[in-house]
């Protein structure tokens, strides 16, 4: 049986040569290493690797950098930077329910961990179905997160809900910014039926920002158009 790799990563946007929120990303990697009971990397080393990679790969342009802190085959720990282009994303997203069951909080402790099989399945589903995201539910039918993002829900009665972190979702920087900016967003538990009756669904990710989800499993969300709250929240993630 293949041994599961242990480690975490964080992915930052580069805009005109500048790594956005580099300090938050570095501190997040330290936090997640401690949660996974790994010796943490040096904060300055993370920041310098972000900056050096951005300068080498993108110059004064745009891009994305993922930095991973994980064990090598020899048992040591290593920082690895992987750059990539920003890529195109649609203004609105279509999503489906994943066939994978979310693994829960047991070993990940709300970290952005490497080598999570449910996310491998989720990414494959997105590619195969030509959609933008999948919704991952736990064994009890509660929404946890997406294959590549956190979610926010505006319920049928107008409440702002983020899935309960006790269910095991990644504690994403994008979601944290949204929570910091709006005290009306509360944690709660939502089923698929709750989502189908929601006023708004939105994906939140620090690289892509806020993406309104207008379709779930072939059903229009509300009127099938981006909602007012998702459009308003998107302003928080403008890349400048």
Total-model pTM: 0.92
Q: What CA dihedral angle connects 35, 176, 118 and 94, to 10 degrees? A: -170
Q: What is the pLDDT of residue 129?
A: 87
Structure tokens at 184: 């009306």
Q: What is the largest CA-CA distance in the chain?
A: 54
Cα–Cα distance measured from residue 124 to residue 16, given in angstroms and rounded to the nearest whole number: 31
CA terminus-to-terminus distance, the chain = 46
Structural domains of the chain, ranges and CATH numbers in brackets: 7-84 (3.30.470.10), 93-237 (3.20.10.10)
The SS3 of residue 108 is coil
Residue pair 97/134 in contact (Cβ under 8 Å)? The answer is yes
Query: Tens-digit pLDDT profile for the chain (240 aa)?
Result: 455 678 999 999 999 999 999 999 999 999 999 999 999 999 999 999 999 999 999 999 999 999 999 987 778 899 999 999 998 989 999 999 999 999 888 767 899 999 888 888 998 999 898 899 999 999 999 999 999 999 999 999 999 999 999 999 999 999 999 999 999 999 999 999 999 999 999 999 999 999 999 999 999 999 999 999 999 999 988 765
Q: What is the pLDDT of residue 107?
A: 65
């Amino acid at each position: 049986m293949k041994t599961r790799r242990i480690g975490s990563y964080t992915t930052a946007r580069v805009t005109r040569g500048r790594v956005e929120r580099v300090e938050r990303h570095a501190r997040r990697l330290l936090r997640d290493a401690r949660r996974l009971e790994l010796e943490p990397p040096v904060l300055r080393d993370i920041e310098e690797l972000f900056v050096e990679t951005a300068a080498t790969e993108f110059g004064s342009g745009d891009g994305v950098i993922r930095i991973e802190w994980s064990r090598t085959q020899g048992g040591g720990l290593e920082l690895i930077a992987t750059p990539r282009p920003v890529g195109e994303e649609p203004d609105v997203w279509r999503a489906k329910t994943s066939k994978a069951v979310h693994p829960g909080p047991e070993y990940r402790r709300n970290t952005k961990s490497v080598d999570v099989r449910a996310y491998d399945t989720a990414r494959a589903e997105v590619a195969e179905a030509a959609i933008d995201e999948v919704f991952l539910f736990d064994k009890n039918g509660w929404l946890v997160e997406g294959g590549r993002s956190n979610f926010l829900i505006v319920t049928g009665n107008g409440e702002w809900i983020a899935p309960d972190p006790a269910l095991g979702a990644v504690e994403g920087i994008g979601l944290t910014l949204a929570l910091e900016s709006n005290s009306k967003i509360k944690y709660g538990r939502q089923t698929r039926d709750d989502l189908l009756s929601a006023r708004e669904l939105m994906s939140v990710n620090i690289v892509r920002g806020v993406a309104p989800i207008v379709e779930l499993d072939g059903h229009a969300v509300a009127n099938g158009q981006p909602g007012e709250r998702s459009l308003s929240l998107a302003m928080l993630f403008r890349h400048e």
